[in-house]
Structure 1
């Protein structure tokens, strides 16, 4: 669950300010715990049937066709956007580690580091299923906790910077408003696990006596404790020490101790290697199912080989063209993550369980729906403006 979005949280705080930033962080944590619990509960709500994919649950709630049209595009945008952002993150972290380890070496362009990062995925993409990446996933989990701890501990050790300013990052009023909107999307981007939670729960054995929701919910609780230990210290300490001078990626703001920050950046690389595969697997599944069932392609090793390599190449090329970490997080966080994480589970819960009108469950779900829809509408505006502003001075393929 702990993705590269954690590294952007101090920057998001600098766009939101102390009061709104802390409030949105805590509210997002509470809402996403609640909606994730709903999805775990709905996985086996029909006796003898398991909804092993997000779109299967969507079809049960909204109808066969409408469920597909609502859920599948949202899921695809989330997973593809994550993979693009992970390409950018992996390349930036490799570049930063190279600069720290060898300060006198010839400067290598970010494009090449993104290509180096992508090269391993042309191999890992051919692993058969989630269980096959369990080792990579475990390593990624350890890495995320490690680099998050290094990020806030090294920042705390560096101390409060001279001339620190906690005002809004932008110097103009429109810039501050658009930055605030982008910050909302960046916060939303950090909570991304809902999009594969049913696929993960599908790998857990289940019987009527011992349904899968028991061990799955224990896993979610542990995950969210780890999220709190990673997200809150990084966001609050990073902003406290750097103010509005913090970089889009907190580890880019840090240079000393050299060995520790270089190690943290390499931890990020290992983590996003695992995370990329976690979110790419459902895309591979959907693409191959569509090609075989709808377009009547013959299932074969070369269909799998071509499909997966084309997808990896696509995410690599987009990342090379638009390596704007903060802007991408702000745009995709609002546009894609808010629906699948904040309010679609609540809408399905209202449809399927029909809680008592104006009761506690009814109010909780409608509050989540309103907050989620507001983020979805306004956050992409700020993210898109950030991308446009950065693109003005960016030399493509640099």
Structure 2
């Protein structure tokens, strides 16, 4: 057994010992990292984690997106997005355990299996980070704006307070919540956020119904010039892409579910996803259609801003938004924390500890807060990030992986469906950031820093 070693059998024994030690050490690290630390989740955890991840700030911008697209194209894009993203989400749930005895706990692990160790990492990680960090920044802005709206509604005669301070107030709670160790530990926060998302969505469309169709309502496209209409359509596509962004955390959510060969995690996960998508439909379609019906092309980029009465209900809705985006922020931050802590412990060889987690996560929260108070362009940020990174990770990257791994027969239903999704997703990725960037530039002309 050990005759090949340079000194009797000492070399292979030492090598075997080192390998076993490394495996044991990796297992200990995995038990500490937030994604793989706890696998005791129930199927309904996946429901409210997915609802919290998906139904966020994006739902309130859907009437605005409709005003840039018009009735026909707006409804088509909304329905198509719902169908395509449900299909690609199903693919990801299926691929989580495609290799017997192995689980792809993270999006980039699936990418590495599909495209190769290095290429998969380079393709997936930058896009996933752009999505998750981008969402966290936008949610900082949303949380701050909703707090400010709540303050201004409850106390209209009070002294005006800068938006910057409200973003800082919103950020302060995340310095505490970010210390929760893993997905299951934030399940209570996520459940509250999911309930709030359904609540404020219902308030948004029900209050719009109560307010009724405005006397001077206009359903022509929002912009008056052809150039403005073109860029508006592109920005709207980005807004809608942002509204279906839950794919970036779906494998990480599924990793928290228990799994055995007899009872694989994909069954409870898919059950949770179906319930989540029903809730998503109940939130998205009424808000988008009723909000646009009531206000036409004069609707604000956050429909709650268009609704000024009854004041107490609008104040409550804005506070529900705050609670929801607190949960959403944590859902999207958790995979980022996992990446940061993996690098610190596995690459830089820091010892897993509470101080390490405290410092690294607090620095991340501080970073997203700083960017949010510097660039709070809500609608433009949604459009820009929506197309640039959400389209690949949500609309067509799962399809590319499916084709690379399963290799369906050319011109089969699976092959055709995946290629249609890929083509639509690539068009979305290329076109929509242009509209979002233009909107940021337009807003920047009149913007004062740290106002």
TM-score by length of 2: 0.87
What count of residue pairs does the alignment treat as equivalent? 398
Match in the other structure for 2:360: 307
Mapped pair 1:33 → 2:86 = yes
CA shift, 1:299, in A, is 2.9
2: CA distance, partners of 1:387 / 1:31: 28
Match in the other structure for 2:436: 383
CA RMSD, 1 decimal: 0.8
The one of 9, 13, 24 equivalent to 2:66 is: 13
1: CA distance, partners of 2:326 / 2:245: 16
2: CA distance, partners of 1:299 / 1:42: 30
Match in the other structure for 1:78: 131
For 1:141, what is the secondary structure of its paired residue? helix
Mapped pair 1:338 → 2:391 = yes
Match in the other structure for 2:446: 393
User: Which residues of 2 match residues 41-190 of structure 1 at below 5 A?
Assistant: 41-190=94-243
Match in the other structure for 1:243: 296
2: CA distance, partners of 1:346 / 1:160: 41
Mapped pair 1:329 → 2:420 = no
Structure 2 gap ranges (5+): 1-53
The one of 255, 267, 272 equivalent to 1:214 is: 267
2: CA distance, partners of 1:274 / 1:18: 32
1: CA distance, partners of 2:259 / 2:368: 36
Match in the other structure for 2:311: 258
For 1:81, what is the secondary structure of its paired residue? helix
Moved >3 Å (runs of 4+): none
Structure 1 gap ranges (5+): none
2: CA distance, partners of 1:155 / 1:318: 33
2: CA distance, partners of 1:353 / 1:269: 42
Q: Which has the larger radius of gyration?
A: 2
CA shift, 1:226, in A, is 0.4
CA shift, 1:356, in A, is 1.1
Mapped pair 1:291 → 2:344 = yes
2: CA distance, partners of 1:253 / 1:155: 9
CA shift, 1:302, in A, is 2.1
Mapped pair 1:369 → 2:369 = no
1:339-367 per-position Cα deviation (integer Å, ceiling 9, x unaligned): 00000000000011111100110000000
Mapped pair 1:354 → 2:407 = yes
CA shift, 1:297, in A, is 2.9
CA shift, 1:306, in A, is 1.5
CA shift, 1:167, in A, is 1.1
CA shift, 1:18, in A, is 1.0
For 1:371, what is the secondary structure of its paired residue? helix
2: CA distance, partners of 1:137 / 1:298: 29
